[in-house]
Chains A and B, each alone.
Chain A
Amino acid sequence: MDYSNLRRQAASMKKSLFDQGYLDEQFCQVEDLQDEASPNFAEEVITLFFKDSARLISNIEQALEKYPKDFNKWDAYMQQLKGSCSSIGASRMKSECMSFREFCGQGNVEGCMKSFQKVKREHGVLRQKLEAYFQLLRQAGPAGAATRPGM
Chain B
Amino acid sequence: MSTMAVPPEPPHVLAVDDSIVDRAVISRLLRSSKYQVTTVDSGKRALEFLSLDSNVHMIITDYCMPEMSGYDLLKRVKETAELREIPVVIMSSENSPARIRMCLEEGAEDFLIKPVRPSDVSRLCSRLITR
Interface positions of A (Cβ within 8 A of B): 26, 29-30, 32-33, 35, 38, 41, 44-45, 48-49, 52, 79-80, 82-84, 86-88
Residues of B within 8 A of A49 (CB): 21
Given contacts A35-B32, A82-B93, contact A48 B118 (CB under 8 A): no
Task: Select one of B21, B64, B93, B115 contacting A29, CB under 8 A.
Answer: B115
**CA A128 to CA B108, docked complex, whole Å:** 41
**Is there contact, CB below 8 Å, between B21 and A87?**
yes
In order of increasing CB-CB distance, the 10 nearest A-B pairs are: A84-B21, A33-B28, A49-B21, A83-B93, A87-B115, A26-B115, A45-B24, A87-B22, A87-B21, A52-B20
Instruction: For chain B, residues 112 to 131, give those with C-beta under 8 angstroms from any C-beta of chain A.
Output: 114-115, 117-118
Residues of A within 8 A of B18 (CB): 80
Given contacts A79-B64, A80-B19, A82-B93, contact A44 B115 (CB under 8 A): no
Task: Select one of A29, A35, A80 contacting B118, CB under 8 A.
Answer: A29
Q: List 22 A-B contacts (CB under 8 A).
A: A29-B118, A30-B25, A38-B28, A41-B28, A44-B24, A45-B21, A45-B28, A48-B20, A79-B93, A80-B18, A80-B19, A83-B19, A83-B22, A83-B64, A83-B93, A83-B114, A86-B93, A86-B114, A87-B19, A87-B21, A87-B25, A88-B25
**Is there contact, CB below 8 Å, between A29 and B117?**
yes
Binary CB contact string for chain B from 29 to 41 against chain A (1 if under 8 A, 0 otherwise): 1001000000000
Count A/B pairs, Cβ under 8 Å.
49
Residue of B nearest to A80 (CB): B19
Task: Select one of B24, B28, B115 contacting A86, CB under 8 A.
Answer: B115
How many chain B residues touch the partner (CB < 8 A)?
16
In terms of DSSP, what is the predominant structure of the interface of chain A? helix
CB distance from B117 to the nearest CB of A (A): 7
Most chain A Cβ neighbours within 10 Å, of B25, B29, B64: B25
**Is there contact, CB below 8 Å, between B93 and A45?**
no
Residues of A within 8 A of B64 (CB): 79, 83
**CA A44 to CA B28, docked complex, whole Å:** 12
Residues of B within 8 A of A87 (CB): 19, 21-22, 25, 114-115
**CA A96 to CA B93, docked complex, whole Å:** 16
**Is there contact, CB below 8 Å, between B24 and A48?**
yes
